[in-house]
Structure 1
Amino acid sequence: MLPLLAEVNRLVYAPLLLVAVSLVYAGTRHEDLRSILRHAGSFGAWTVAFMVGVAALIEAMAFFQ
């Protein structure tokens, strides 16, 4: 029997990774906490939009194949 953590889907960690990367990226450009959070939110939204766009393109290509 597999351990419980081995059965967890890897996509569960994607939001945590996105938050961490967004905060670090914004933290390297700003010093004020409000600016960091605003930039991290914007960066995270753009990243999610890009990933959704790429996934939609891949699905469309698979559909029309």
Structure 2
Amino acid sequence: MVSKVGTIAPQIEKKARFIADHLIDSKLADLIFLPYNPRFHWVLAIIDLKSQTIYYLDSLLQ
């Protein structure tokens, strides 16, 4: 899980490296779920590597 709330620059770089490493190690049939807290609520990004599609799910967007 990734959250930028209260995060300083070195922590952001560490989280970005963690995500990048997992993307490199994943297989094309994989779905990658990335829960993320941009400020005060959680959103979900889903990366479908096979179709090269990213879904962004945010309950506050209509």
Give TM-score scaled by structure 2 length.
Answer: 0.36
Whose Rg is larger? 1
Indicate the structure with greater helix content: 1
Q: Which has the higher contact order (CA 8 A, sep 6+)?
A: 2
Give TM-score scaled by structure 1 length.
Answer: 0.34
Indicate the structure with greater strand content: 2
